[in-house]
Chains A and B, each alone.
Chain A
Amino acid sequence: MAESHVMSYESRIPPFAHQRIILYLSGSLHRRAMMNDVCKEDVYRQLFLGLSERLRNYLYYHCGDASQAEDLTQEAFLRLWEYCRKVPPEKAKAFLYRVGYNLFLDGIKHQKVVLKFRNQPAEEKAVESPEFEYETREFEARLWDTIAAMPENSRVVFLMNRLDGMTYREIAELLEISVKAVEKRMKGALEVVRGLV
């Protein structure tokens, strides 16, 4: 009776099943150890120090408001902490950009976006001549007006490339889009800026 029970139990389990089960368990343990990384204080801080500035810039290119961009960045990192068990460190970048952008979209519903791209004080430079100075200022003003008015997606990609020095591939990875799509958005921006040059 007991023997036949053992027999039927053995026959149900395919060969090497035990090894597979052990592999599966150790794999899931390993995954779990990895997953908890973002929950570790030092990992989380390193992520913030490494990613926050570009994330803030990215959100700034969307909303055009420096202090709003900082708030959105902080909120995105708070969400990352909240979900630290579910977000492995290598996915943290894309998670932050996605969450930051979604938070920005949520904010839009409440208030119309007001672009304030030119509130940054321009660096004081040695004045070459009043006319040249005036021309430069005037060109700058036209350029930023153009940028504020261009399609949002093109503007963001253009400024990420121009001001944060990111390659199309880096941008594509962060925004989870293809390199082709980044290039398309760049072309859109160049078309607009060309009109000024």
Chain B
Amino acid sequence: MEPQQPDNDILLRWLNGELSGEELRRWESSEGYRRWQSVQAALERGAPRPMDHEAALARLLAARHKRSRASTRRLRLIWVSGIAAAIAGLALLLWLFRPAPEWATGLAAKEAITLPDGSEVILNASSALRYKDNRKGSGREVELEGEAYFSVTKGSTFQVSTALGSVQVLGTRFNVFARGQRFEVSCLEGKVLVRTDSRQDTLLPGQGLKKTEGATDTFTTEATTPSWTNGQSSFQLAPLPEVFREMERQYGIQILAPDLAGRTFTGRFPHDDLEVALKAVCEAMGLEYTILDEGKVRITE
């Protein structure tokens, strides 16, 4: 029996080159084999064109080169934008944590400051003023070391903090002195609230509060502005060492004095003439002075 069509198994094995000698001979002599030969011929005429390997490789390498350039460009873009973002972030951080504005005066110097809210401050010699927290919108809270005269515009509470106590006001003019252990506030207009560790006082115009090492006392003043803002320092029963220390700050000098503790001075000295200032204090107190070189003054009994 010679089947027109070989069975699938023979065909399948033939196509895979698995037929044994006998099977192959029988299959190759059949009619089906001739038909399949013509199928194979027809298939081969429709086969894909042979490949030009060299040309295809050249195309591939060109495409690869182009792509790697594109990817390095992309990488560079990522780098550049990353750095830009980092710089922007850093700038934002610096802006957020920017230092509060700060003013400071040296010896023999005064400075007039207008704060952003319109308040005016005159900073006496060797003093410093800074905002407590710059990020708070109101910006009406300052820290003071030394002495300053404030003329505060009306508005929300304005607070002056010092190491020795704080002063709270709504709009007024007042002077604050905070050096060493000495804290002194005098109200010239309006009303101020003074807080120290031990007490809380409301001062009206012409009233002052003085805190020294031991005691806290109130006093009165007739001045409409602190005298130091007008070029002189005035004192009422002030300890003599304090007076000379103020003179040191106003003239940038060093005063060599014997122990003067316990003596007080009432009076004033100007800021523009050292001879006059020394004479004013020494004559009243019965002291002698000698102006030495290198900005030194010796006080003797």
Contact = CB atoms under 8 A, between A and B. Distances in A.
Do A and B make up one complex?
yes
Interface of A: 45, 48-49, 52-53, 56-57, 60, 66, 69-70, 73-74, 77-78, 81, 117-118, 120, 122-123, 136, 139-140, 143-144, 159, 161-163, 167-168, 183, 186-187, 190-191, 193-194, 196-197
A190 B43 CA distance: 13
Interface of B: 5, 8, 11-12, 15-17, 32, 35-36, 38-40, 42-51, 53, 56-57, 59-60, 63-64, 67
Nearest to B17: A167
Contact of A48 (B16, B35, B42, B57): B57
B49 A66 contact: yes
Across the A-B interface, the 3 shortest Cβ-Cβ residue pairs: A53-B51, A122-B45, A140-B42
B16 A140 contact: no
Given A123-B45, A143-B39, A193-B39, 5 more contacts: A73-B56, A162-B43, A191-B8, A194-B5, A197-B32
Contact of A163 (B11, B43, B64): B43
A187 B9 CA distance: 9
A48 to B, nearest CB: 6
Nearest to A166: B16
A81 B62 CA distance: 13
B152 to A, nearest CB: 68
Nearest to B47: A163
A74 B56 contact: yes
21 contacts: A52-B51, A52-B57, A53-B53, A56-B48, A56-B51, A74-B56, A74-B60, A78-B67, A118-B46, A120-B48, A123-B45, A140-B42, A140-B46, A143-B39, A159-B43, A167-B17, A186-B12, A190-B8, A190-B11, A193-B39, A197-B32
A168 B47 CA distance: 19
Given A45-B57, A162-B15, A117 B46 contact: yes
Contacts of B38: 136, 139
Contacts of A144: 42, 46
A142 to B, nearest CB: 9
Nearest to A69: B48
B48 A197 contact: no
Interface of chain B, main secondary structure: helix
Given A52-B56, A186-B12, A197-B35, A120 B5 contact: no
Contact of B44 (A117, A118, A163): A163
B132 to A, nearest CB: 53
Nearest to A182: B16
Contacts of B35: 197
A99 to B, nearest CB: 14
Most interface-central of B39, B48, B63 (chain A CB within 10 A): B48
B186 to A, nearest CB: 70
Given A53-B51, A66-B49, A78-B60, A139 B42 contact: yes
Nearest to A75: B63
B46 A122 contact: yes
Contacts of A48: 53, 56-57, 60
B56 A70 contact: yes
Given A49-B57, A78-B64, A163 B48 contact: yes
A67 to B, nearest CB: 11
Given A122-B45, A140-B45, A186 B15 contact: yes
Nearest to A187: B8
Contacts of A193: 39
A190 to B, nearest CB: 6
A187 B48 contact: no
B39 A197 contact: yes
B60 A143 contact: no
Nearest to A60: B48
A189 to B, nearest CB: 10
Contacts of B16: 161, 167-168
Contacts of B53: 48-49, 52-53
A31 B36 CA distance: 48
Nearest to A73: B56
